[in-house]
Structure 1
Amino acid sequence: MTPTPPRTLPEWLAHCERLHPHTIALGLERVAEVARRLALRFDAPVITVAGTNGKGSTCALLEAIALQAGYRTGVYTSPHLVHFEERCRVRGEAVTAEALLPHFERVEAVRGDVALTYFEFTTLAILDLLAHAALDVVILEVGLGGRLDAVNVVDADCAIITSIDLDHTELLGPDREHIGREKAGILRTGRAAIVSDPLPPQSVIDHAREIGADLWLVGRDLHYGGDRQQWQWRGRSRQYGGLPYPALRGANQLVNAAGVLAAFEALRARLPVPAQAIRNGLAMVALPGRFQLVPGTPALVLDVAHNPHAVAALAENLDAMGFFPTTHAVFGAMADKDVSAMFARIAPLVDRWYFCDLPTARAASAAELQARWQAQFPVAPQTVSTHATPSAALQAALAAADPADRIVVFGSFFTVGGVLHEGLPRLSAKHV
């Protein structure tokens, strides 16, 4: 019997999970071949964003400013927090499942016997949608690495490399220099290469020079600084003063915003952006799960910090919040993450831990996280518990917390997404 073809988005996603024996299979040959069969091309300028941390925020800032300038935007980011459709936004809105279906069908129709991973298939479907959406600018977030990531099948007009640190070392290399070389694979000859990391690996600079990319570096081609109220930015030929700080919280967002303004200067001939659009975009940008403060008591922070560098930024932002009698942490992570380094950085700020299982085979179990924490801090107070889901862990934290306390939900996208998927719970009676 011929299997019934998928008809709904969940059916297509299940189909994509069955096509390739591996979750991750780096390499562009298969994706490039299917893209060729799709005749995939973009008439609008394309900005590609790679890096260890700050990619999602950078894409959100690019989108917000471009929307304020009146441009029709298309954005691809991954992973999603709650719904797959979040991965693709057109003109500021997440696409519908129905809008995606024809593009899944097109990929399936042309791929023949090419075995694509889930990420490769879904990336091609979203790229195909964006290519047919009559856009003014396309913003693409690289999933993993850069050189061999499926998104790199597109030759971007401008590439941004955000902060680089250790993550996915088993695939990308053991240090920042190796990882930087992989990220630099998104750069193109003669096209803008914006490096917003203030201390980039030398491998990024070397590769940009080897291929003749138009390299922009912090301190040479772009400069920024500010006081408590506002900040200023200067590029090669433009400068802006009196800028509002990005609405995305955290000191690290200024690094991302500086790279974004450089990208707009580099593309000004095709994508001119007035100063007021920059100010409005900075003030109005929003992105769930990035040091997101949920109104109410106790204080609730959601952050997808899932590697040591991101957790260090989270810790700095938590420090800046002021005093809380007790900080409760809900945490879940993938098994391949350097949780010891994450614990070391944030442990001084956390009084009680609520470890949770996550709905993916790649995740460390709550019991494993507890064992690793207790091995690292054997003389610390045993204020640790394990829970079956992120939502259950948050409920336990809420039950234990006083109104003046703070709860931090962080780690994998599955951790924050699990909390958001269930809906943020009502505060218990003692918090009302």
Structure 2
Amino acid sequence: MKQNLDQWLSYLESNHPTEIDMGLERVRIVAQRLDLFKPTPLVLLVAGTNGKGSTVTFCTEFLKTLGLNVGSYMSPHLHVYNERVRINGQPVSDELIIESFEAIEIARQEISLTYFEVGTLSALYIFKQQKLDACVLEIGLGGRLDAVNIVDADGAAVTSIGLDHQDWLGSDLNQISYEKAGVFRANKAAVCGQRLPPELLIEHANDISANLFVKGEAFDFDCKDNLWTWRGLDTLNRPVVFEGLPYPSLPIENAATAIQLMVQVKPELTYDQVKKGLLSAQLDGRLQVFTHPFNGVMDVGHNPQAAQLLNQYLIRTPAKGRKIALLAMLHDKDAPLVVKEMTQIDEWHLAGLSGYRGQTSEELRKKLPKTMVVEHCHQSVRDALDALIDIVNPDDTVVVFGSFFTVAQLQDWLSSH
């Protein structure tokens, strides 16, 4: 008998023979039984290699400024499962999640579902039961065959297209773009935050008659001093401009994509509401600054595009002292390309991650260029942080990144210091 959330999650993790089982047939049948294809009046999808969480967060905050009650679904979580399912930015309770799991368990009958598929149905069930006005859903893997893609969406964004999850999506950017374009819908807003996207994405959008808006063509942004300007198109393809916008704490690239999607689905959005949404958009572990016991920034980024955004942030926020990197990554990520993007780092420290996808700091070091100077290889993130306390100066900035696990361990360490 499953009494609490931890017991339910353990059950779900062991209930299906494989962790990932691409395809929508099984999850679609259960969703139909529970009537979950349209959980809220407005449903938005966000896919992409990088920037999905930030874009979901921006869209959620913009919708909140319109007075709407909004659900958001993202993965993975940093500390507790509830972080994946939020209402107006706040994680939902154990009770709501357990209630949804119980309903799904009854409805699935003979059908076996993966952990992620049950989690997706759970979020949709909760949003419907709570009678929310809108929901913004992150696509976990790819797009076309991701469980989240079963919904009747009113608009979608593909934030970026790069190499990630190659075991499932392949290493051909054109094919990956086609998989991600699977979230687009006929005659609905389809926003692409990738400049000059691969041809297959554009072809697919045109083939299904989606209303495609590509960054650098239909919309764009430019920065000047401490403010930035967004330019895009409304529902009648007329120019819209928001000038003098404040810098958000999350990447502007993703803010620009989110604004274009919002202008399409909620054209009544005003400058003041955009400004308010930008200032309130925060995401745990993404470009998150901390100041004790030393100055630093943490980021869950684990691919080259994420590293590029983190590096741009470091360029915009110069430090008087050294920029010291603490990197810990899972073994299936492209560490050499990630490190190549980090041009602002003065000193490198590596740490190991445990678990079946983890690797030691020595294994990580072997993957990196021999010419790269690494100050020290630490057994764990905690060991590295304990060592850094003794060598970091007040003017230095410590940059901790490479994985959700890396940031979670940093946050646990910070809570005890």
TM-score between both structures, scaled by the size of structure 1: 0.90
For the pair 1:365 / 2:341, whether they are aligned, the reply is no
Q: Is the 8 A contact 1:82 1:420 kept in 2?
A: no
Q: Structure 1, unaligned stretches of length 5 or more?
A: 427-432
For 1:211-263, what per-residue CA distance to the aligned partner results, in whole angstroms no more than 9, with x for missing partners? Answer: 111111224332332311322223233523334234224xxx22212221221
Residue matched to 2:86 = 89
Residue matched to 2:67 = 70
Inter-partner Cα distance in structure 2 for 1:352 and 1:229: 30
For the pair 1:24 / 2:16, whether they are aligned, the reply is no
1:241 maps to a residue whose letter is: F
Of 370, 380, 384 in structure 1, the residue corresponding to residue 376 of structure 2 is: 384
Q: Is the 8 A contact 1:69 1:274 kept in 2?
A: no
CA separation of 1:206 and 1:9: change in aligned 2, threshold 3 A = same
Residue matched to 2:411 = 420
Q: Is the 8 A contact 2:349 2:374 kept in 1?
A: no
SS in 1 for 2:342: helix
Q: Is the 8 A contact 2:40 2:135 kept in 1?
A: no
What's the offset of the Cα at 1:21? 2.1
Of 95, 99, 114 in structure 2, the residue corresponding to residue 98 of structure 1 is: 95
Residue matched to 1:277 = 273
What's the offset of the Cα at 1:345? 2.6
Moved more, 349-358 or 301-310: 349-358
Q: Is the 8 A contact 1:395 1:425 kept in 2?
A: no
SS in 1 for 2:246: coil
Of 93, 103, 119 in structure 1, the residue corresponding to residue 116 of structure 2 is: 119
Inter-partner Cα distance in structure 1 for 2:17 and 2:314: 41
SS in 1 for 2:390: helix
Inter-partner Cα distance in structure 2 for 1:60 and 1:415: 21
Inter-partner Cα distance in structure 1 for 2:40 and 2:152: 12
SS in 2 for 1:224: strand
Of 38, 42, 45 in structure 1, the residue corresponding to residue 39 of structure 2 is: 42
Inter-partner Cα distance in structure 2 for 1:31 and 1:79: 19
What's the offset of the Cα at 1:78? 0.8
2:286 maps to a residue whose letter is: R
Q: Is the 8 A contact 1:232 1:239 kept in 2?
A: no
Q: Is the 8 A contact 1:49 1:140 kept in 2?
A: yes
Q: Is the 8 A contact 2:46 2:56 kept in 1?
A: yes
Moved more, 105-114 or 397-406: 397-406
Map 1:397-408 to 2 at 5 A.
Answer: 397-408=388-399
For the pair 1:264 / 2:262, whether they are aligned, the reply is yes
Residue matched to 1:411 = 402
For the pair 1:353 / 2:349, whether they are aligned, the reply is yes
Inter-partner Cα distance in structure 1 for 2:372 and 2:183: 45
Q: Is the 8 A contact 1:34 1:107 kept in 2?
A: yes
Q: Structure 2, unaligned stretches of length 5 or more?
A: none
Q: Is the 8 A contact 1:180 1:203 kept in 2?
A: yes
Q: Is the 8 A contact 1:77 1:140 kept in 2?
A: yes
- Pairwise CA RMSD of aligned residues? 1.9
For 1:176-228, what per-residue CA distance to the aligned partner results, in whole angstroms no more than 9, with x for missing partners? Answer: 21110110011111111111222212111110001111111224332332311
SS in 1 for 2:182: helix
TM-score between both structures, scaled by the size of structure 2: 0.93
2:325 maps to a residue whose letter is: A
SS in 2 for 1:144: coil
For the pair 1:230 / 2:222, whether they are aligned, the reply is no
Q: Report the identity percentage.
A: 34
Inter-partner Cα distance in structure 1 for 2:416 and 2:245: 33
Inter-partner Cα distance in structure 1 for 2:188 and 2:374: 54
CA separation of 1:289 and 1:395: change in aligned 2, threshold 3 A = same
Moved more, 334-343 or 178-187: 334-343
Inter-partner Cα distance in structure 1 for 2:177 and 2:107: 34
CA separation of 1:314 and 1:229: change in aligned 2, threshold 3 A = closer
What's the offset of the Cα at 1:133? 1.5
Number of equivalenced pairs: 412
What's the offset of the Cα at 1:279? 1.2
